[in-house]
Amino acid sequence: MILAFAATLAIVVRDHTPIRAAPNSSAAELTALSQGDVLEIRGERAEYLKVYNYRRERGGYLRADMVRPVGFNEADAPQLLAVLRFLRETPGSEALGISYGAAYLKAIPTRTLTAEPFDAIARMAERLADAASGNGSRPAEAAAHLEVVQQFGIHMRSFERGGRMQVCYDGELFRRVLAQAGASSEERAHAVLGLTRPDCIDPELGPVLRATLDGERRELLDEIDARDLSAITKSRLHARRAGVLASIAYEQARRGDSPRVAAERAHAELLAVNANDLGEDRRVEYEDAVLRVSAVRWAFGAPVPRTEPLLLSAAPGDPGQTCLELSEAHPGRTVALARRCTYGIVWMASAQTILKGAALVLAVQPLESWRELWLFHAKAGVWTIDVLSPGADNPEEGYVEFAGFAPASRRLLIAREVKERGRFRRRFEELKLDDLALVRQASSPELLHDFGSWQDPAWRRDTLALH
């Protein structure tokens, strides 16, 4: 909720505004205020105002040009709304905009209230939370602004994700937008996008609660009709649906249910995104969706034809485990070669024999948006299982997949895409089959000779790594 204003008030318009003990620049500084702070005006002396700030519980003097007096009558509402509209798209002015938004809500009669101020305040609160998470150039100012907006009932949640602190707006005013009968399609879409962010899901949430939350996220997204939306919002909506449906497909596979329908729809939603409409700032939402859908690609992908002599079988192990056994077919018998168990999802459709039975590759997904590549191959006559990971750091988001094999040089072709420390990185690599040593890598497959000659046709047809 938004705090109600009273008395003769003014809003601070600059950061680091000092309150002094006397009305002159050489007087002792009692405290410093940030933009958006609200003051009660108690008097005036020359170019200074005598004020009191309830958040800091301090009174004193400050220069009159550091604040803007505000009124709360119906006649003041149009001017307050004009300032709110100006500030809502101004990065770095979120606290000031939220303060003016609170003043507007106090001035506007309930009978004429629309969804617009709720939408503006909520979007500024979301942007401020992103800045406080380090997604900006002024995290220190953002932290101070968070303290300012708390007085208006703006609440944040925070938790650690990937070794960094994630701050998220709790979304109360987004829900108010959805409750407004006259909210536009664009306002409703912004609200749903704010309420379904994947990076604002508590990483400690258990699987049952997470599945329930993803079901709620899907319902919210399905309520939005994309036909009347702007190009950028429409693509953002498709990307978000793709990511949520990919999460649901993963949860269904973990429960032993068929994930195919959810995964196919996730893929269709991803293909509906026009990445060029998103611009530089929003493209990360598309890249996030690509990684999530890629992780479950084998839930709807066509099985790879396998050839003898290698045979791969899966059987239940301990509760929640799948145990894999690789064997080699011989006339009248089979010989066990290697065995390993995992709590991850084993995508058996991805199993592919390479080099006439000298090795086998398999996609295994241990986490919602993290897919590995298992390589079964012989070293010095002994079969072993090596795991190729999307990245070397702590799992965040990513996948690695088999892209082909160059028989003459015995080089494995792979594609990796990963999100590390908030950044997305894609690369294509040539590895030696025997010891997986990196031979060369590039940002595009066209820059690698073996990719031009030996990439797998099925991989090129189905992969999302070439998006």
Q: What is the mean pLDDT of each run of 10 residues along the chain (467 residues)?
A: 61 94 93 94 91 92 94 93 94 94 94 95 95 74 91 92 86 96 95 96 92 96 92 96 97 94 96 91 92 94 73 91 90 85 95 86 94 92 92 81 93 93 89 93 92 91 88
Q: What contacts 396, CB < 8 A, 6 or more positions away? A: 162, 369, 370, 418, 419, 420
Strand 359-367 relative to strand 164-169, pairing: unpaired
Euclidean distance between CA atoms 314 and 312, whole angstroms = 7
pTM of the model: 0.90
Name the region of 355 (left: φ>0; alpha: ψ -120 to 50; beta: rest): left
Return the closest-CA partner of residue 139 out of 128, 149, 147: 128
The alpha carbon torsion through 121, 125, 131, 135 (nearest 10 deg) reads -90
H helix or E strand, kind and range, residue 165? strand 164-169
Euclidean distance between CA atoms 113 and 119, whole angstroms = 12
380 touches 436 (CB < 8 A): no
Euclidean distance between CA atoms 366 and 390, whole angstroms = 12
122 touches 191 (CB < 8 A): yes
> CA distances (Å), 69 to each of 31, 39, 148, in order?
20, 9, 17
Beta bridge mates, 166: 159
pLDDT at res. 107: 94
pLDDT at res. 394: 66
pLDDT at res. 5: 47
Whether the bond into 309 is cis, omega within 30 of 0:
yes
- The alpha carbons of the chain give a radius of gyration, in whole angstroms, of 28
103 touches 79 (CB < 8 A): no
Torsion angles phi and psi, residue 386, rounded to 5? -105, 140
Q: What residue ranges do the domains of the chain occupy?
A: 110-146+153-299, 310-462
Return the closest-CA partner of residue 439 out of 389, 405, 392: 405
Strand 370-379 relative to strand 397-406, pairing: parallel
H helix or E strand, kind and range, residue 125? helix 116-132
Return the closest-CA partner of residue 371 out of 394, 353, 346: 346
H helix or E strand, kind and range, residue 368? none
Q: What share of the chain is helix, strand, coil (3-state, %, to 5)?
A: 40, 30, 30
Instruction: Look up tokens 């002599």; give the residue.
Output: 309
